[in-house]
Structure 1
Amino acid sequence: MRRDPVFNIFTIPPVSSSAEYFKKFLIRTNPGMISFSENLKRIKCYPVCYKPDKVYEMPLHSHDFFEVLLVISGRGEHINNRNYTEVIKNRDIIIINNQSAHSLRGLDSEFEVINLTFLPSAIGYSDDSLRNRNLSNLIHFLRPFNEYDARGNFIKIRQPDADFKKILFYAFHIIELFHKGMDKNAEIICNLLSTIINMIFNHYKAQNNINGAGNNIYMMDIYSWLHANFQKKISLGGMARHLQISEPYFSTLFNKITGKNLKTCVNEIRIGKSREMLENTGFPVGRIAYEVGFEDITHFNFVFKKYVGCSPSRYRKQINTAGTIPLNIKTI
């Protein structure tokens, strides 16, 4: 392992191991198409920091996930299947979709990048948006992944140095957490990834003079709102009234955008938070149930067992005994 090349505080794999990890976590489903391996689909995100070879040009390829390319240092070329080659350098961010093929080549020995590849479900949205552009256009965070610039190339964003370093900080943290234990750190990884995508979208929105849409459901970050308000009483009718749209319409859109119904999504968030509290606090189960938004401890116990596979008390006991999540415990 080595220290990250920017902050010198995060522990990440050496450059020489990149090929090994690519083979472990990514698979070729057919010529020119790359997919996540089965074990990676549980995590929904694969982060890597590496140096594209100056001599060997990566073959053109596409993939069934989204990708964010962060250029840390040096200069390289990004090539797409529309016969367009673009020189990229430090602070460039390339937003890559699953619809067009591309490749990468280093122009000097300093060229180093971070690749953040992910499924939409990593940031709380339906993976159907990979195959349905109309659906992904409803999700404002994913809008840049469905657009090209005037020359037909992938969207490129160039941020001020301070903002770019914030994104790099989160990205290196994701890489470190991934290799320290991708299963136990999955929720933190996805939260950090959501933060990065949010920062990129906000810069993209400002760069392209995209105005906000008030309470418009198409531009609302539903998932982030639920994470911030999960302790409150949440209902379809209440959210629909807040957005000034009908309850049936909101229900249909919510299902399309997240791939789940509202009740399931809220319960997953609440149970995830309760697990954190069971692992990290000594609070009684009844208090934890109340803290995460359940009004009845019996109902909390029922929902917890449904999602995790055991009662809250047994979960805490096994965590305290094993010091980690037991293999027979389900993860959300």
Structure 2
Amino acid sequence: MNQEIIKEITPLTESDFYMLFAREKDTFDFPLHYHEEYELNLIINASGARRIVGDHISTIDEHELVFIGSNLPHGWFTHECTSKLIREVTIQFSNEIFNENFLNKNQSNHLKKMFADAKKGIAFPADTIIGIKDKIFDLKLKQGFPSFLDFMYILHELSYSPYTTLSNEGFQEVSLASATNSRRIKMVFDYMHKNFRKEISLEGLALLVNMHEASLSRFIKKKTGKTFVDCLNEIRIGQASRLIIDTTQSISEIAYSCGFNNISYFNRVFKKQKNCTPKEFRENFTDTRLYI
């Protein structure tokens, strides 16, 4: 299988802070795609539609708000949605506006973390969406710099909201460490991304960054909220997901090529992370083509 993912050339120009598109429709007809620009997508009244972000597949509820990072494949598909009045607002903006200099300011800490997490895609909970949706809908009525101030307010509010990241670590070779300034954590994750096919031990990583194993284990947990094994498995499953989508290799070939020495263990880890087997995951992407 080779699931086509197209590159979208958005109408955003260098003269725009952002572009906003407000639509009412009864179906989703745009293919799986990616673009350089960030995207905030609000969808109301489309329960049962299917969302794909990176290697994450899910059926959405009545209220949907997702923040998509640069060049992350994504798409929404009609699937089981029967609504005749889907409301959607899509906001696209350049990744140059919120550059490193801006995000590294003390007042931008929450924004920095949210933008880092957006590389994997972010979904916001229903209570956050209900609280912010009118502000987003009202943006289409605003013009000039006041509209940008309202847009910044929306991003600020969202950065303080709880949210869930979607795509796996490793799918785009982005790192859980990207939101931290820790040199050692970045060294650890850079090494794991480059060597995920090989055997990687906590002992070897500890030698790499000149730390004791127990100290490094606690350090990784503190900085990422995950254990060393969970971080490594997320990178490997992300890489495996990409191969499942992009190639016709067998599941066992993919498992071994991504550093798993035991196919049963690979299947267990994959199902734990994806809530489906690798075979079901491939079939889900194949089924999506019916809605393109």
Using structure 1 for the length normalisation, give the TM-score. Answer: 0.42
Q: Which has the higher contact order (CA 8 A, sep 6+)?
A: 2
Q: Which has the larger radius of gyration?
A: 1
TM-score, length-normalised on structure 2?
0.47
